[in-house]
Amino acid sequence: MSEGGKSREGFQDRWIHRILRNHLFLMALIFGVVFVSDQVTKKAIRNNMFVGESRPVFESVTGSLIRLTYVENPGIAFGIRVRNGSLFTLFSILASIGIVLYLVLHRHEGMGIKAGMTLILGGACGNLLDRILYQQVVDFVDVGLNNRLRWPVFNIADSAVVVGMVILFYTVMVTERKKALLEESA
């Protein structure tokens, strides 16, 4: 390979390294992937299925393990009803602003905290947009063993919030454990 090729590779490697080290870029990427994939999949469900329709995706001997089931959810997570949807929407807006402020004010936190919070933010904003535009959220991922043992129908935004919470919990637990071990050894 020519000297010019090595130079270009070195530049590309340094550029990629800088991008990956830049937590702001990674947070924007995580947010964008969650938000866009959530909205695109919900639009595809709205345009190609009717409410209540269910299509098997993965079959097993016990029945449909995974199905696409179009559900419109005016409540909160897992179809839990709320009395005042407008109040819940306002709370969701305030919570999303709170997460953004936390991320800005605590920009030196570790990537685990930032990734978890960003996943939660992406999911919250995905569902929030639906609440603002349609006064309900489209859920479509239907998982279970048979017709009686099924998890409540959910969407990509819900999944991002749950994964974000798991990452936050794990990160905080690991961080606290490390602090405790350091204090014991001091």
- Give me the pLDDT at residue 146, please: 75
Q: Which amino acid is at 86?
A: S
Annotated catalytic residue within 38, 130, 139, 142:
139
Residues 171, 177, 178, 179: is their CA dihedral positive or negative?
positive
The pLDDT tens digits for 87-140 are: 888 888 999 999 999 998 988 888 899 999 999 999 999 999 999 999 899 999
- Give me the pLDDT at residue 87, please: 81
Annotated catalytic residue within 38, 130, 142, 158:
158
pLDDT higher than threshold 70 for residue 150: yes
Residue 93 phi/psi, 5° resolution?
-65, -45
Contact 104, 117 (CB under 8 A): no
Q: Which amino acid is at 122?
A: G
0.95 surpassed by pTM: no
Range 36-51 average pLDDT: 97
- Give me the pLDDT at residue 24, please: 82
**What is the count of structural domains for the chain?**
1
Report the chain's mean pLDDT, rounded to a whole number. 85
Q: DSSP of 118-150, one letter per residue?
A: HHHHHHHHHHHHHHHHHSSEEEEEEEBSSSSSB
pLDDT band at 43 (very low <50, low <70, confident <90, very high): very high
pLDDT higher than threshold 70 for residue 3: no
- Give me the pLDDT at residue 34, please: 98
**Which domain does 155 fall in, by range?**
3-185
pLDDT higher than threshold 90 for residue 5: no
Q: With the CA atoms of 61, 65, 66 and 70 taken in that order, what torsion angle do they form, in degrees rounded to the nearest 10?
A: 100
Cβ neighbours of residue 96 closer than 8 Å, sequence gap 6 or more: 121, 124, 125, 128
142 is catalytic: no
pLDDT higher than threshold 80 for residue 51: yes
13 is catalytic: no
pLDDT higher than threshold 80 for residue 8: no
> For residues 53 and 68, what is the distance between their CA atoms, to the nearest angstrom?
8
Q: Which two tokens stand for residue 117?
A: 């919070």
- Give me the pLDDT at residue 74, please: 85
pLDDT higher than threshold 50 for residue 1: no
